[in-house]
């Protein structure tokens, strides 16, 4: 290629690929590999290859939309940078601080692309790749969000309508049979209880939605946001002790060494509280829920585990429990009032803090959720977090 052509391609914001007359890639942006367009210096998408052949022979320009999947070798790096994981199929069973921290099984992520092709000369064809995936994911997330929130709002509204109808009827029954009036008042009381219950439910929905919105902006490490892991855990245990006592579940914690991280203290406490609340709710009376914090094997992460010996989670549910509004089948009377945002909040807090959250579970054996957060490189706080009562 001529120098002027190379200079022009270098300033184009879209990813570019240049293919010669033998269909070999002579120039490619790194993103073309990540987006699943190029591999081993060859175009691997058949639709693009067909368009290259047509443009080379007939000239002109061709444009079309294309959906690809991120190749396995790029998937894990991209997942670590993303705040969304609904398009991923990743089995994270190892410690992210270890060299073999992720075992990927059919790892893929959809990419939504706008492709434009044109001929540079008689043999060279340029492919312009505009990655619009973020916009598409935003629209999909927004639509799913609106659908789910609308469904959650319907129940309280319907309960209010029923109560209003009952109250309106009450005035018409004055002077009628006292027994009939008493029965009607019992119905009014029942509807009022439903309104009260749904009001609390709606408040819970709004609180979790606000938490989820807060956990979207990436945390930037600074000396002002250094946190002591032991202090974070201690605060959560103190807040959740009453819940554990009511459920007759022992709540234990320990921090094996001083650990400091960068982060938003409120978000970290909320994420840990969600995990502890779930662990208590799914544990039987007389069992124990444990929080254990330690450094990862490579010393780069704080590894915080929340361990319970409750009913466990099926493999089918494990694949989806971090999705927004997803509700597993193993609900009990206490957990049935949830809306399916708790673990989504935990996931987003982990990602915005440049970490991860994983789960190990087996039905009848319990669950272990592991929150991995990068350690502060220059810790300025820290203390012994061992619980003397543990």
**CB-based contacts of 38, cutoff 8 Å, min separation 6:** 17, 25, 28, 32, 44
HEC profile of 207-240: HHHHHHHHCCCCCCCCHHHEEEHHHHHHHHHHHH
Please list the residues that pair with 132 across neighbouring strands: none
Contacts made by residues 14-17, CB under 8 angstroms, sequence distance 24+: 14/116, 14/128, 14/129, 14/130, 14/131, 15/128, 15/129, 15/130, 15/131, 16/126, 16/127, 16/128, 16/129, 17/43, 17/126, 17/127, 17/129
Residue 246 burial (CB count, 10 A): 10
Is the CB of residue 107 less than 8 Å from the CB of residue 75? yes
Please choose, from the candidates 317, 302, 284, the residue with its C-alpha nearest in 3D space to the C-alpha of residue 357: 302
Q: Which pLDDT value is given to residue 219?
A: 82
Please choose, from the candidates 93, 74, 5, the residue with its C-alpha nearest in 3D space to the C-alpha of residue 360: 93
Q: Which pLDDT value is given to residue 83?
A: 42
Q: What is the DSSP letter of 114?
A: E
Please list the pLDDT of the chain residue by residue as tens digits (390 residues): 555 555 555 657 678 999 998 999 988 888 999 999 999 889 999 999 999 999 998 888 999 999 998 887 775 444 444 444 444 443 433 344 443 333 333 345 789 999 999 998 888 899 999 999 888 877 876 777 677 677 767 777 777 777 777 776 665 555 556 776 677 677 777 777 777 777 777 777 777 777 777 777 778 888 888 999 999 999 999 999 999 999 999 999 999 889 999 999 999 999 999 999 999 999 999 999 999 999 999 999 999 999 999 988 888 788 788 877 776 665 555 544 556 788 989 998 998 899 999 999 999 899 999 999 999 986 444 444 444 344
CA-based radius of gyration for the chain: 27
Please identify which residue in the block is written with the tokens 């819940």.
Answer: 243
Please choose, from the candidates 136, 140, 137, 141, the residue with its C-alpha nearest in 3D space to the C-alpha of residue 65: 136
Please list the residues that pair with 130 across neighbouring strands: 114
Is the CB of residue 17 less than 8 Å from the CB of residue 126? yes
Q: Which pLDDT value is given to residue 104?
A: 32
User: How far apart are the C-alpha atoms of 292 and 305, rounded to whole Å?
Assistant: 5
């Amino acid at each position: 290629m001529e120098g002027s052509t190379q200079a022009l391609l270098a300033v184009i914001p879209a990813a570019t690929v240049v293919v010669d007359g033998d269909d070999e890639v002579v120039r490619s942006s790194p993103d073309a590999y990540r987006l699943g367009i190029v591999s081993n210096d060859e175009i691997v998408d058949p639709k693009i290859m067909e368009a290259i052949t047509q443009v080379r022979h007939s000239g002109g320009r061709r444009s079309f939309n294309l959906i690809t999947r991120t190749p396995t070798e790029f998937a894990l790096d991209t997942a670590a940078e993303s705040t969304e994981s609904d398009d991923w199929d990743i089995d994270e069973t190892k410690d992210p601080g270890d060299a073999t921290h992720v075992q990927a099984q059919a790892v893929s992520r959809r990419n939504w692309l706008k492709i434009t092709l044109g001929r540079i000369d008689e043999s060279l064809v340029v492919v312009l790749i505009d990655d619009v995936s973020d916009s598409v994911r935003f629209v999909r997330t927004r639509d799913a969000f609106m659908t789910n929130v609308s469904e959650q709002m319907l129940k309280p509204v319907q309960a209010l309508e029923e109560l209003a109808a009952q109250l309106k009827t009450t005035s018409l029954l004055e002077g009628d049979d006292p027994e009939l009036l008493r029965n009607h008042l019992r119905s009014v009381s029942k509807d009022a209880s439903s309104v009260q219950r749904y009001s609390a439910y709606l408040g819970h929905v709004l609180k979790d939605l606000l938490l989820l919105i807060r956990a979207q902006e990436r945390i930037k490490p600074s000396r002002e946001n250094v946190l002591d892991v032991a202090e974070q855990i201690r605060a959560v245990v103190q807040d959740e002790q009453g819940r554990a006592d009511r459920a007759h579940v022992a709540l234990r914690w320990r921090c094996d060494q001083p650990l400091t991280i960068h982060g938003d203290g409120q978000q970290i406490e909320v994420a840990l509280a969600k995990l502890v609340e779930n662990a208590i709710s799914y544990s039987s009376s007389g069992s124990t829920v444990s929080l254990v914090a330690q450094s990862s094997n490579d010393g780069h992460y704080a590894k915080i585990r929340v361990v319970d010996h409750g009913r466990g989670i099926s493999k089918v549910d494990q694949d989806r429990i971090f999705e927004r509004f997803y509700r597993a089948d193993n609900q009990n009377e206490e957990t049935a009032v949830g809306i399916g945002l708790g673990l989504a909040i935990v996931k987003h807090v982990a990602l915005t803090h440049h970490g991860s959250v994983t789960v190990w579970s087996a039905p009848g054996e319990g669950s272990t959720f592991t929150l991995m957060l990068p350690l502060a490189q220059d810790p300025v706080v820290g203390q012994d977090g061992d619980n003397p009562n543990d």
